[in-house]
Amino acid sequence: MTVVARKIKATPARPASEAWQIIVDLLAPGGSTAQTELLSVGGIASSLIASQAMRSAPIVVYGSGPRVRIYCLYDEDAIEGEQANEQKLATCPTEGDWSMSLPVPAEDLNWVRESLEKRSSRITARDMSQPLLTETSDEESERKAAGATINPEAFFRS
């Protein structure tokens, strides 16, 4: 699985709501149902951006094309903007079947999940302190699920 990352300038370079709008514009074309759905959770997402949840834990979008991870830059990093990458994506990750996972501080997880459930079936919350599955662990999970194993000794026999 290919992963594409973007880093969006957030506070204090721009308000959290403006940072969310940049993210929405990256992920969904204007007038699309995906854009409408993303905008419907704008208050929740802006709150998470303002809490700096996306400093070390990304928003993750699973959809068509590569997996997209979006981080936010804060404080001096946001003001300087040297690490920012707000370039348009090569593909639209919200075409067809897609989902999004928002990182949330553990103490806010319950209210964020409840609020998101009322607004979207595609956008969910996860504890930001929990590690994301990596490409390797995804492959290992798929291999285990399929019952496939590799015997290194048999593989290297001559």
Instruction: Output the pLDDT for position 31.
Output: 87
Task: Tell me, yes or no, whether 103 lies in a domain.
Answer: yes
CB-based contact 20:45 (threshold 8 Å): yes
What is the biggest distance separating any 2 CA atoms in the chain, rounded to whole angstroms? 63
Provide the number of structural domains found in the chain.
1
Task: Tell me, yes or no, whether 114 lies in a domain.
Answer: yes
Instruction: Output the pLDDT for position 5.
Output: 96
Residue 143 pLDDT exceeds 70: no
Residue 149 in tokens: 């194993």
Q: What is the 3-state secondary structure (H, E, C) of the chain?
A: CCEEEEEEECCCCCCHHHHHHHHHHHHCCCCCHHHHHHHHCHHHHHHHHHCCHHHCCCEEEECCCCEEEEEEECHHHHHHCCCCECCCCCCCCCCCCCEEEEEECHHHHHHHHHHHHHHCCCEEEEECCCCCCCHHHHHHHHHHHHCCCCCHHHHHCC
Task: Tell me, yes or no, whether 137 lies in a domain.
Answer: no
Q: For the chain, how far is it from start to end, CA to CA, in angstroms?
A: 32
pLDDT bucket at 135, cuts 50 / 70 / 90: very low
pLDDT bucket at 142, cuts 50 / 70 / 90: very low
pLDDT bucket at 137, cuts 50 / 70 / 90: very low
What is the arithmetic mean of pLDDT over 90-119?
95
Model confidence pLDDT, tens digit, residues 106-133? 999 999 999 999 999 999 999 999 988 6
CA–CA gap between residue 110 and residue 126 (Å, rounded): 10
Domain residue limits at 13? 3-130
Model confidence pLDDT, tens digit, residues 36-85? 999 999 999 999 999 999 999 999 999 988 999 999 999 999 999 999 99
Task: Tell me, yes or no, whether 18 lies in a domain.
Answer: yes
pLDDT bucket at 29, cuts 50 / 70 / 90: confident
What is the arithmetic mean of pLDDT over 10-29?
97
Instruction: Output the pLDDT for position 86.
Output: 97
Length of the chain: 158
Task: Tell me, yes or no, whether 65 lies in a domain.
Answer: yes
What is the arithmetic mean of pLDDT over 20-36?
94
CB-based contact 3:136 (threshold 8 Å): no
Task: Tell me, yes or no, whether 32 lies in a domain.
Answer: yes
